[in-house]
Amino acid sequence: MNEKKFPLTKEETLRLIERYPTPFHLYDEAKIRANFRRLRETFAWAPSFREHFAVKALPNPRIVQLLHEDGAGTDCSSIPELIISAAAGVKGEEIMLTSNDTPYEEFQKAIELGAVINLDDLSHLDYMAKHAGLPNLLCFRYNPGNLVEGNDIIGKPVEAKYGLTREQMFEGYRRALEMGVKRFGVHTMVISAELRTEAFLLTARLMFELAAELKEKLGIHVEFVNLGGGFGIPYRPEQDGIDYDAVGAGIEKLYNEIMRPAGRGDVGIRTESARGITGDAGWLVSTVLHEKDTYKKYIGLDSCMANLMRPAIYGAYHHITILGKENEPADHVYDVTGSLCENNDKFAIDRALPKIDIGDILIIHDTGAHGSAMGFNYNAKLHCAELLRRMDGSIELIRRPQTIDDYFATLKYEGSLMK
């Protein structure tokens, strides 16, 4: 069982709302650091280990900075994410650019920063060399096809736009050698929001066997194996989380069986987690504005799908509690909605909850990854604030709410705006 807790008392929350009106995302520094420490300890046996935090999941320099203080690097997919990394003090090969239909400017910026380049397609090698040059350290992203089943979030590997086939991997490394690249890693990312130990072990086996074969066939001694992310969290209270001890021990056993006999006992381990570090350390705090009773009972919030998209696009479950009513019986059934002109703008459908009154504060749990990051401006909705609860209990504003002036700042128009 996974108890869903909010880090503030009712009194603390109400005082906070007086300073920062809802909606807002709140993150807990102590929880983030503890989650990262758990991941780091999982791979303490490895000759070297680095987590490249996936910036896309929570692109805030303050979060990246505190993780970097504990030893994390970053995985980036755009120039702004590279800039966030640099602004947070992440440097050189602590940064990885994971290519995906990548424009040459992103390759240029990554090489300028000394980042590791992770290529997503054979054609990107020549494209990068032509427009940006070659990096000091290069890897290719492996897509193992039907060897891995995938899920609704990441998709089936055979239908995914990401990565190279096994044959293309060997061709890519061979060509990179011929072009003069000296240093290599190997990478994959084929699971997402995963809780099963066996899924992580399958990924490790595939990658260790690939690394050993690269040495045997091409003489390439990769410096690291990046197992990707996919570390899930138990979104539902009845779910159990990952057994990190079993994952660590299982991968270590595979490393000793496959890598060491192949003379690869010095190869480091890399991951690019995010959800497993910040996911359950974030909450979306909202106020109830309306109650509607037609064919169903609806509760309307001051937040919407623009603040948390996962339930709408994935059908994802996010637990909801009502401030001050956490222990009351869940004897009412509601759809919990936002105000977008879209019928899928729902945080919960047919959810059993305690009786909700207008003005109640709803806490939507586990929004610390792919929450605020996936926000958008449809219906001219504005991004909400992001707050960080520090280790000492103080609150830091790490992203102010977007304003109407912000929204109009990029528009070109004649005449005057509202006066």
**In this predicted model, what pLDDT tens digit does every residue of 201-221 receive, in sequence order?**
999 999 999 999 999 999 999
Q: What is the pTM of this model?
A: 0.95
The yes-or-no answer to whether 43-273 and 280-408 have a common fold is no
Q: Where are the domains of the chain?
A: 43-273, 280-408
**Token digits of residue 310:** 């996962």
pLDDT, position 145: 87
Specify the CATH superfamily of domain 280-408.
Answer: Lyase, Ornithine Decarboxylase; Chain A, domain 1 (2.40.37.10)
Residue closest to 282 by CA, chosen among 95, 35, 39, 89: 35
pLDDT, position 150: 56
Q: Where are the beta strands (DSSP E) in 220-265?
A: 224-226
Burial of 146 (0-12, 13-18, 19+ CB in 10 A): exposed
pLDDT, position 419: 47
pLDDT in tens, 241-289: 999 999 999 999 999 999 999 999 999 999 999 999 999 999 999 999 9
**Token digits of residue 349:** 């459908």
- In order, the DSSP letters of 345-398 are -EEEEEEEES---TTPEEEEE--TTTTGGG---GGG--PPEEEEE-TTS-EEEE
Q: Does residue 151 register a pLDDT over 60? A: no
Residue 149 pLDDT class (50, 70, 90 cuts): low
Q: Does residue 229 register a pLDDT over 70? A: yes
For residues 242 and 232, is the Cβ–Cβ distance under 8 A?
yes
Q: Does residue 126 register a pLDDT over 60? A: yes
Q: Does residue 323 register a pLDDT over 80? A: yes
For 295, residues 6+ apart whose C-beta sits below 8 A from its C-beta are none
Residue 148 pLDDT class (50, 70, 90 cuts): low
Residue closest to 95 by CA, chosen among 71, 117, 78: 117
Mean pLDDT of 384-403: 98
Q: Does residue 153 register a pLDDT over 70? A: no
Q: Does residue 75 register a pLDDT over 50? A: yes
**Token digits of residue 180:** 């003069």
Burial of 379 (0-12, 13-18, 19+ CB in 10 A): middle
CATH 3.30.70.330 fits 43-273, yes or no: no
The CA distances from residue 147 to 121, 242, 353, 370, in Å, are 19, 22, 41, 27
From CA 54, how far away is CA 74, in angstroms rounded?
Answer: 6
Residue closest to 25 by CA, chosen among 339, 376, 359, 397: 397
